[in-house]
A = this chain, B = another copy of it.
Amino acid sequence: MKPIKVGLIGLGVVGAGTYTVLQRNGEEIRRRAGRAIEISMVAVRNTARAEAIVGAGVEIVTDANLVVNHPDIEIVVELIGGCDTARELVLKAIANGKHVVTANKALLALHGNEIFAAAQEKGVMVAFEAAVAGGIPIIKALREGLTANRIESVAGIINGTTNFILSEMRDKGLDFETVLKQAQALGYAEADPTFDIEGIDAAHKLTIMSAIAFGIPVQFGKAYVEGISKLQAVDIRYAEQLGYRIKLLGITRRAVVNGVEGIELRVHPTLIPTKRLIANVEGAMNAVLVQADAVGASLYYGKGAGAEPTASSVIADLVDITRLATADPGNRVPHLAFQPNQMTDVAILPMDEITTSYYLRVYVKNRLGVMADLTRILADARISIDAVLQKEPAENATRLDIVMLTHQTQEKNINDAIAKIEQLATVVGQVVRIRLESLS
């Protein structure tokens, strides 16, 4: 059988990794796929750099339209990132009857519904294993491995940059700004780190997993997104003393509020019991914990970024497509796990309505009755306290931290209580509130 021809748009880190791995393991991949996979054309801005990377058999162009329009190319791999141009090119490729592989989580989180509908209409595949958790085959696990299950929740460390920063902050007791600078120097964080540190990248990935887990459209706009840039070293330390680690977690979960089903979709720093496996995922590694009714808990761990780990997922998609390219669309796996006409419209819950536990740190004046005031406010709000940490203040200290872990309550309830606490004359500044998940 003749090789299947692939056109690559973008030859950055992941593009070059994809080319390299296909070259190195081409023979092994062919033995699996039953057919060789050949990158026949790449579209890049800098042709000189491209020439240094790809061999003579690959046509190098600067106009990506030449790739999406080329009659011999059956699969277009979009690796330029960003939304506008990428969306246009992907839709053109689909319109031309080409299958698409993309690692572009922003594109799918924002325009996935449009793109998958177009692909469905045209009978082509859009594959995106590389868009979530790099080399971990989590899309395949959720979409094919767990088809028997009613999935209850997905919770993941799905941004390596923030996990690296949090690991370093804990390990070395450093503050956020210092570690961020180190991460930038090491290449773990970008010059403009906003997408990573503010949780946006994680929310893109979580949005995609949420759709696959629950059979809902991608709804990035409804995700709650909170990053780690305001996290203080002192809270990491207190958490540790209480038996918890703080991770930037993407969480999506079924919930019932006032008898109505809804779905939580949220990214934020989260306390996790240290004894959980996922709490011990350190450095730039990723992990996704899935709770489902038949299988129970399962966890998927690996490298969430980098040239070859991401290329591993891009190429796995190429192999899947190579196998199914000649099959009837009905033989293929639906893009979002559920058949397109079998999606549901269960609503994403507003953040006020989610239920979780909380870590609260209150900075108070060292006066009689402070604790009584705090606990009274929580009791009035029917919020149970699970643990309290109050160190004996230094002699003559006039202010001190009181740390409390609460049982589960609704977010709007804790917010009301916090507002009341902040009005106390004995409380200084704002209450620090970090969500806590037991993940049991």
Contacts and interface: CB of A to CB of B under 8 A. Distances in A.
A266 to B, nearest CB: 23
Given A137-B141, A311-B148, A294 B21 contact: yes
Interface in A139-179: 140-141, 144-150
Question: How many monomers of this protein are in the complex?
Answer: 2
B147 A315 contact: yes
Interface residues of A, number: 65
B296 A147 contact: no
A144 B338 contact: no
Interface stretch (A64-72, A191-199, A326-334, A407-415): A326-334
B323 A294 contact: no
Contacts of A338: 31-32
Given A294-B308, A301-B299, A339-B34, A323 B315 contact: no
A303 B311 contact: no
Interface string A86-127: 000000000000000000000000000000000000000000
A140 B141 CA distance: 8
Contacts of A330: 34, 323, 326
Contact of A308 (B17, B144, B295, B308): B295
A288 to B, nearest CB: 11
A146 B33 CA distance: 12
Nearest to A276: B280
A228 interface: no
Contact of A147 (B319, B328, B332, B342): B319
A241 interface: no
B296 A135 contact: yes
A300 interface: yes
B34 A334 contact: yes
A300 B287 CA distance: 10
Contact of A146 (B22, B137, B150, B333): B137
A312 interface: yes
A165 B26 CA distance: 43
A352 interface: no
Interface in A271-305: 277, 280-281, 292-303
Interface in A4-46: 17, 21-22, 24-25, 28-34
A333 B312 CA distance: 18
A160 to B, nearest CB: 12
A339 to B, nearest CB: 5
A337 interface: yes
A63 interface: no
5 closest cross-chain pairs (CB), A and B: A137-B145, A148-B315, A298-B302, A135-B295, A31-B342
Given A17-B294, A295-B309, A298-B302, 4 more contacts: A277-B277, A294-B315, A298-B301, A326-B328
Interface of A: 17, 21-22, 24-25, 28-34, 129, 135-137, 140-141, 144-150, 215, 277, 280-281, 292-303, 308-309, 311-316, 319-320, 323-324, 326-328, 330-334, 337-339, 342
